[in-house]
Amino acid sequence: MSEATDDSMWYPNTPCVLGIDEAGRGPVLGPMVYAAAVCPISRLTDLRALGVNDSKALREEHRDELRSKIQGAAFLRTFETILTASFLSESMLRKEKYNLNLVSHDAAIGLVQKAMDHGINVAEIYVDTVGNPEQYAAKFRERFSAVEKVVVAKKADATYPIVGAASIVAKTTRDRRIREWCFPEQRRSADFRPGDANIAVQFVGPTGSGYPSDPMTKTWIEHNCDVLFGFPTFVRFSWGTAKVILDKNAVRVEWECDDEENDISTTKVAKKKSVKTKDIKSFFPTKRTASSIGAKKRKSLKHACPLPQALQSLTLRRAYTLA
């Protein structure tokens, strides 16, 4: 049986090594991608022969070439998890904070579980560290007690070829996502009705590297910041750069919480109250309220935080479909 059709190396009794790395942790634009590469321990020599290394040390064309080799190698399997900018923003801005380290840890653990769910015998795990290496490794050992070896280390992508392979997969996937990104807020020409051309949302200009320190990236974010809706979903609202620009350029709104009204005292006989829920339509102004609100009312509006990102796409669609 030829190597291209030989699946015996993936049988549950074949011990494999699994490496994990990410791409896009630091940028304020686009997704963060986690990838895992898996190889039978008996084929590590073949893996080294591919010349995989830390993706950041490779030119783009070389990364793409190695990605093709990785995909074409029968002794390698890869898995990916794409964490969108919207997901990252919502995770880090919610009431119970879900910080980037925890998001990263859960994504990596999920990739190991995904490989195991495919029947792969993961005997060794190698991961590029996020946060404290010892604590991170302890999470893997607790979750996957049958795994013989867990290594969490700095610069693991430059030290262990299996992590280098994962690094290349993660980086090339993110680069492709950035190149092919279609803004969901930007209406396609086929969707326009007569007279709509002047209200089409357009996001223009080069985005730069996507890193907060890049002047071109900062300029793009500033030029594409809407005073009401903030940024498109391509931007990570929870990043400091985005917050500063929102504070400077966007309208601020205070969203009142009804928690106190819904609390039931434990010292009294509980008598359930009917809680009036708001229909989603109540968040948007009718023609009457939109036209009747005066300058005095506008001055009295309290502004404490930007419009929640979860409402943006819905609000945007509503705003652009009003008759």
Tell me the mean pLDDT per 10 residues along the chain, length 323: 52 92 94 97 94 72 89 95 94 88 97 96 96 95 97 94 95 89 65 51 76 90 85 90 89 72 45 46 45 41 44 40 33
Determine the Cα–Cα distance for residues 99 and 148; give it in Å rounded to an integer.
29
Give the CATH number, domain containing residue 21: 3.30.420.10
**Residue 256: Cβ-neighbour burial (10 angstroms; 0-12, 13-18, 19+):** exposed
Determine the Cα–Cα distance for residues 108 and 323; give it in Å rounded to an integer.
47
Indicate whether 8 and 139 sit together in one domain. yes
Domain assignment present for 223: yes
Indicate whether 216 and 172 sit together in one domain. no
Indicate whether 201 and 57 sit together in one domain. no
**22 carries a ligand binding annotation:** yes
**191 carries a ligand binding annotation:** no
What pLDDT is stored for residue 77 in this prediction? 96
Contacts 24+ apart (CB under 8 A), 176-182: 177/30, 177/31, 177/33, 177/82, 178/29, 178/30, 178/207, 178/210, 181/30, 181/234
What pLDDT is stored for residue 72 in this prediction? 93
**21 carries a ligand binding annotation:** yes
Domain assignment present for 12: yes
Domain assignment present for 31: yes
Q: Which residue range(s) make up the domain with 257?
A: 189-261+276-321
Give the CATH number, domain containing residue 286: 1.10.10.460
Indicate whether 157 and 56 sit together in one domain. yes
Indicate whether 151 and 292 sit together in one domain. no
Domain count, the chain: 2
pTM above 0.75, yes or no: no
What pLDDT is stored for residue 189 in this prediction? 47
Domain assignment present for 268: no
Q: Are 123 and 41 in contact (CB under 8 A)?
A: yes
